[in-house]
Amino acid sequence: MPTVTFTVNGTARSVDVRDPDQPLLYALRNSFGLTGPKFGCGLGQCGACTVLLDQTPLRSCVTPLSAVAGKSITTIEGLGTPDKPHPVQAAFIAEQAAQCGYCANGMVMTSAALLASNPKPSEAEIKDALAANLCRCGTHVRILRAVMRASG
C-alpha cells in the first residue's frame, strides 16, 4: 500500500492508503482524527474543508493526498490552541460569528490567510476574500465583524 508523508500542524505524518489520490480531507479526518475541516459539498465550492498549504487556503476535498506529499498543511487544530487561540479564532468567539458553525472552519482559515498577507484589510477586501466561502445560516455580518476585530 502506498505511503504518503507530509507535515500536518508542524509534525511529519505518514498515512498508508490504497488510493494516494483520495482527497486530503479524508486522510485528515479519518486517518488523523482532525475533524476541524468539514465535508460540505465535496466539490470545492463551499469552503468548509479549507486548510492552509503554507499560508494559502486549500480546498482539501478536491486536493489529492498525493499532491501534498512533502508539503506542509495547517488545519484549524494547528492554528491556535484553546489557551492561545489565533486572533481570528478569538474574534469569532467574541463576535459569536458562528450559528450552526459548519462553515466556521473555512471562514476562520481563509480569514487567517487573508490577515497573514494583508494585516489591515478593508471591508471590501474581507468580503472579497470570503466570497467563495458559503454560510447557509446567514451570519455574514458577524463574520465580517469578527475579521475586522481580528485585524485590530
Give the residue at shortest CB distance from ligand FES. Answer: 61
CA dihedral angle for residue 93, residue 54, residue 36, residue 50, rounded to 10 degrees: 90
Site map 100..139 versus ligand FES, x via CB under 6 A: ----------------------------------------
Minimum distance of ligand FES from residue 18's CB (angstroms)? 21
**Per-residue binding letters, 56-95, with ligand FES (x by CB under 6 A):** ---x-x----------------------------------
Instruction: Single out the residue of 52, 70, 72, 50 nearest to residue 61, CA to CA.
Output: 50
| Cα gap 31→41, rounded to integer Å | 20
Q: What's the closest the beta carbon of residue 146 comes to ligand FES, in angstroms?
A: 21
Is residue 151 within 8 A of residue 113, CB to CB? The reply is no
Strands 11-16 and 72-74: unpaired
Name which position in 17, 41, 90, 148 contacts ligand FES (CB under 6 A): 41
Alpha-carbon gap, residue 16 to 4, rounded angstroms: 6
Q: Kindly determine how many residues on this chain lie close enough to bind ligand FES according to the rule CB under 6 A.
A: 12
Chain residues that interact with ligand FES, rule: CB under 6 A: 39-42, 44-49, 59, 61
